[in-house]
Every structure is written in C-alpha cells, then in structure tokens.
A = this chain, B = another copy of it.
C-alpha cells in the first residue's frame, strides 16, 4: 500500500529510461529481449503495480464504460448487464454500474458522474428517451447506446425490440384463444416508454379485432411482484372482470398469478396471463408462464459491441430491433363458457 513504485523506480533499478519501461509494458516487441528481461526483473524487485488511472489520464482513454439501468433487481436487466459485462471483459474494458430506479433525476446524475469519471462511453436503459439527458449526449457527441427502447430512426444508436409488436402479439395470442375481455397491467408509462409502446400494441390489436377498448381494464403500476398482484386483484373485482391479462413484464405477470391464486382462481382455467421478457424463472413456475421473449443477453452484448464501434470512431447511428418471440406455455388457454 504505502509507497507504490512507479516506472521511474523500475527504470532506475534496471538502468534504463522510463520510456523503455513504458515500452515493455505497452509494446514489448519493440524492445530488445535482453533489456526487456532486465526491466521485467526490476519490476518484480520493486513490486511495481501498473497505474491504469495515470495511463488513462494521458491517453484520454479510461477503458471504462458506464452502464445505466433501472434496477439490477429485474432479471432482464441483470441479463443484459451480463451481456455487456462479458463483452466488455473480453475487450479489457471495465464497467461502472448504476441504477436509476426509474427516476429521471437519478439518470441525470449518473450520466454526469460517469462523464466526470471520463468513461469512454455509456450504455443506457432510459427512463425517458426524449429527455434532455440523451439529447445533450447526442449534441456533445458522447458515444452511447440506448437499450430496449423502440427507436427506429434518429441520431441515437439503439439496440431494442419492437415493443409495439410485442404488445400486439401478446394480446393477439389471447384474442385467438377466444378472449374478448382482456386487461392490461402495465409499468407506469411515465417512466417506461417500453411499457407505453406495449400498451399501444395491445390497443391496436384490440381495435383490429373489433374489441372495444375499455380504459377501466388498464392499470399502471410499479414494475414489481406486488404491483402485479394488487393490480390483478383490483381488476378482478370489477363487475365485468377480464378473463385474461397482458402484463407488461414477467414480474408483473408472476405477481398477477399470485394474486389470481389468492382469489381462488386456477390458471389457465379461470384466467389467462401472458407476460413479457421471459426471465428464466418464467418456465419454472406453475403453471409455466406464457410470455414474450426478449433476447436480453444479446441486447446487452450487441449494445456493448456497437458502443465500442462508436468509440472506435464509427459515428453513424445504428438502430437494431431484435426479434421478439411469443413463448406459449401453460398460463394461457381459452376462456370457459
């Protein structure tokens, strides 16, 4: 700890210049083997520890990126986080992680601190794709990529999914099963454009199938198990309750299943539920959850890939909407009667 030795110490000890030491670290092939060994030896002797900060300071490359997500508690974000981490790791880049808890202020703050920390770029799952934060990033040409949002054009690079289509397909599945009274439990639109787009898909599907939209069947709530449970109970207490629910994520859906069960209903006989995400546990609950699968890991991985390209100089914005798929399992069936 105390006094760390620097390349100067090593240089002295090896009887060479600091430039040479620096070379054996960064481009060993550019120095004679003999000298190299001498230096390596010296490094051991004085227990030299490389200081990546000092390097970043001069090269203006921190080899660090910032990853901003709503909350690491949600398995989807944990999965995309893993995707970026794995990819970054393979490229010797470290990642600073920050949770916004769906609060714009927090997103703002994180972006600022990460920038002060001189991150080479940012990967963001935003709370508001039209907010000033992202706009500034674009204006100042900070390399960054947006995750999960449905943005098919414009100056931002984004790796997302077609949330509208996802919402549409989930609802369509229910309609095809024969449901006409379909409720939706959604994450609050104000903090999740993803949820908002999924709702649009839901509405459009109803419309296309000539099912009138009843706003009483929509509840916006926290993206949590309890949120899902409470919402479903409320909706089920209506005079003319839904026979099926589309939940805008799997947490909500799992919570909804619990709520239905507490009401004594049995899935999928008495009620159908479809989620969104396909988190791993979705296929391990009983009944197994029908849901829309997002390729979360790949979203993270591809996001990191594109970010590095951008950092590498490619400034042309890219919009990649990855495929969603409907995974039919056991939580959905036709309505009784």
Contact with B along A90-110 (1 / 0, CB 8 A): 001011111100000000000
Interface pair A57/B49, CB less than 8 Å apart: no
With known contacts A113-B92, A114-B94, A286-B261, A57–B64 Cβ distance under 8 A = no
Q: Is A269 an interface residue (CB 8 A)?
A: no
Q: Is A188 an interface residue (CB 8 A)?
A: no
Size class of the contact patch on chain A: 35 or more
Interface pair A116/B52, CB less than 8 Å apart: yes
A225's partner among B51, B62, B117, B280 (CB-CB below 8 A) is B280
Chain A residues packing against B (C-beta within 8 Å): 1-2, 49-54, 56-57, 62, 64, 71-73, 75, 78-79, 81-82, 85-86, 89, 92, 94-99, 113-118, 140-142, 225, 254-255, 257-258, 261, 280-281, 284-286
Given A73-B79, A94-B96, 6 more A-B residue pairs with CB atoms under 8 Å apart are A2-B141, A50-B116, A75-B78, A95-B97, A254-B284, A286-B286
30 A-B pairs in the complex with CB atoms less than 8 angstroms apart: A1-B140, A1-B141, A49-B116, A50-B116, A51-B116, A51-B118, A52-B113, A53-B117, A53-B118, A57-B57, A64-B96, A64-B117, A71-B82, A72-B78, A72-B81, A73-B75, A73-B78, A75-B78, A78-B78, A85-B99, A94-B117, A95-B97, A96-B97, A97-B97, A225-B284, A255-B284, A258-B284, A261-B286, A281-B285, A284-B285
